[in-house]
Amino acid sequence: MTRPSPTGAKLSKTGADHSIGKYRSIDRWFSRVVDALRREHPDKLAQTLADYAHRPQRVCELWLAGRQSPNGEALASLLRSPIGGIVLDAITAGAEAEWIARDRRARRLLTIHEREAELRREKAQALEDV
């Protein structure tokens, strides 16, 4: 068995026997986002992420596998995309900050208003058909 040289031990930031644990991935935070996106977009999710994050599909496959996670630039692109609400909700799940609650209420109201407008259009179309 070899031992680290005294010089190598001094240069090392951690000792040779330092363990960072079995689960050393720092990328697990993105797994909540992946779970939420899989529920909404079960088909071709890697391609969907690649399109919205402006990254290669292979990189997005690594995100889905939990081996890597998006950097800040890719995350910002995802948040600005049509799936941004899903991403934001997954990231902030369980958070109790007031701004998060206000944002969720505002997005819920926007969805309701959009549905109301669609129902009005359907009603107008139905009345024209009579």
Domain boundaries, the chain: 25-93, 95-130
The most confident of the ranges 15-19, 23-27, 34-38 is 34-38
More confident residue, 10 or 83: 83
Confidence of residue 29 (pLDDT cuts 50, 70, 90): confident
Considering the entire predicted model, what is its pTM?
A: 0.66
Residue 24 predicted with pLDDT over 90: no
Indicate the SS3 state at residue 87: helix
Complete DSSP assignment for 23-79: ---S-TTHHHHHHHHHHH--SSHHHHHHHHHT--HHHHHHHHHTS----HHHHHHHH
pLDDT at 36: 95
Identify the band that residue 19 occupies on the pLDDT scale cut at 50, 70 and 90.
Answer: very low
Instruction: Report the pLDDT value the prediction gives residue 58, as an integer from 0 to 100.
Output: 97
Q: What is the mean pLDDT of residues 55-67?
A: 94
Residue 17 has pLDDT above 50, yes or no: no
Q: Which residues contact 41 (CB under 8 A, 6 or more apart)?
A: 48, 83
CA atoms within 13 A on the CB side of 83: 22
Tell me: pLDDT of 20 over 70. no
